[in-house]
Amino acid sequence: MTEINRDEDQQAPADLTEDLQAAFTKGRALDLASFGITDEGLVESQEPVIEFDDNAYFGHVTIIGRPNVGKSTLLNHILGEKISITSRKPQTTRHQVLGIFSENEGQMVFVDTPGIHKKANKALNKYMNRAATQGMKDVDVLVWMVSAGQLTEEDEYIGELVAKVKAESDTPLIILVNKIDKNGSHEVLLPYLSNLQAKYNPDHLIPVSALQSRNLDTLLNVLRSMLPKGKPFFDKEQLTDRTLRFLAAERIREKLTRQLGDELPHELTVEIEAFKEDDDLAHIHGLILVERSSQKSIVIGKRGARLKRVGSDARVELERLLGKKVMLELWVRVKSGWSDDERALQSLGYVD
């Protein structure tokens, strides 16, 4: 469980300009000084004893955004554990994944969603868009993540969806401006934030760096103030609703995605055919599905070198996840057209 830095006396950095400190203070709980542009945030992962307060909060928070904007990185850094896989490749996240943040004061259930993209042609892409948009319904807070700098066409498309949700349900909205470590200069950030505030009128507007854990404490404090009182639903030790079998398949797919080119990761998936745990050893058999024979050769690599490397890297993470030795066996099989076949997708766990 990750402990959060809650230093409420934190001072704004001296180098912030007066106009930057003054911006967005009117009628808002946060100003840019509290946004910080500071390096304070998460501290080392610890194991505190959690006892829920009688007056605890409980609520669901959906994180949406375009592909590769940093949603999964955000969730993993909040929880202090890898729940959602990440890579530099867009559309790495394919399913809704719950991440459960528990503390004495209450419980936040984060819904990490696939990146929403405007052009969804294949059945797999349509499934991911459905998973993302369904996650926007019946939640307590909607968190829309964009990158610092400039809105893309896909950002604008998501903005239209967000506006529709707010109009229909009045769901509170937080806009997170991510990657301020890369594009967070005052000259760039201030007019960008002004435009977002004027155009979308979010309840809160928070610049962060998910990768560097900057300003995540501010986000959590705001969410605590927005979520309703209620009895936490999940066990205080539970981090996700996903099974170990699902997490194992995702770890393997992550290693494949990171080692392969830009196109192939979108045409492969991983299915766990066998998962057996003994006291000190786990046996896992994973099946990697691709669409063409040429892709199978790429995944296996020369003399099996790439597949061995994927297996080795995945095994290390699985042993850390399970806390025991892992015997991992991987196979590669061709299943033509699986990513554009609704029935095949359902059989592989891509179910709405």
The CATH number of the domain holding residue 249 is 3.30.300.20
Confidence tier at 333 by pLDDT (50, 70, 90): very high
Tell me: do 277 and 196 sit in the same domain.
no
Tell me: do 172 and 66 sit in the same domain.
yes
- Taking only the tens place, the pLDDT of each residue in 16-69 is 334 333 433 333 333 344 344 333 333 233 455 678 888 999 999 999 999 889
Task: Answer whether residue 239 is part of any domain.
Answer: no
Q: Is 234's pLDDT higher than 90? A: yes
Is the separation of the CB atoms in 288 and 256 below 8 Å?
yes
CA 100 to each of CA 160, 257, 282, 306, 342: distance values in angstroms, whole numbers, following the listed order: 28, 25, 25, 34, 30
HSE of 265, CA atoms in CB hemisphere, 13 A = 21
Tell me: do 134 and 202 sit in the same domain.
yes
Task: Answer whether residue 121 is part of any domain.
Answer: yes
Task: Answer whether residue 183 is part of any domain.
Answer: yes
Is the separation of the CB atoms in 237 and 284 below 8 Å?
no
Tell me: do 216 and 257 sit in the same domain.
no
| pTM: predicted TM-score of the whole model, two decimal places | 0.81
Task: Answer whether residue 235 is part of any domain.
Answer: no
Q: Can you give the pLDDT at residue 167? A: 86
Q: Can you give the pLDDT at residue 263? A: 62
Tell me: do 316 and 174 sit in the same domain.
no
For range 318-334, the mean pLDDT: 96
Tell me: do 340 and 201 sit in the same domain.
no
Task: Answer whether residue 28 is part of any domain.
Answer: yes
End position of a domain, from candidates 196, 226, 256 = 226
Q: Can you give the pLDDT at residue 352? A: 66
CATH of the domain at 33: 3.40.50.300
Tell me: do 12 and 152 sit in the same domain.
yes
Tell me: do 36 and 145 sit in the same domain.
yes
Task: Answer whether residue 233 is part of any domain.
Answer: no
Q: Report CA Rg, the chain.
A: 21
- Taking only the tens place, the pLDDT of each residue in 286-298 is 999 999 999 999 9
Q: Provide the domain count of the chain.
A: 2
- In angstroms, rounded to a whole number, what is the distance separating the alpha carbons of residues 295 and 290? 6
- In angstroms, rounded to a whole number, what is the distance separating the alpha carbons of residues 45 and 37? 22
Tell me: do 212 and 256 sit in the same domain.
no
Tell me: do 42 and 169 sit in the same domain.
yes
End position of a domain, from candidates 178, 197, 226 = 226
Task: Answer whether residue 323 is part of any domain.
Answer: yes
Tell me: do 16 and 153 sit in the same domain.
yes
Q: Give me the domain span that covers residue 302.
A: 244-347
Task: Answer whether residue 352 is part of any domain.
Answer: no
End position of a domain, from candidates 195, 226, 257 = 226
For range 212-241, the mean pLDDT: 94
HSE of 223, CA atoms in CB hemisphere, 13 A = 31
Tell me: do 217 and 281 sit in the same domain.
no
- Taking only the tens place, the pLDDT of each residue in 134-171 is 888 889 999 999 999 889 999 999 999 999 888 888 89
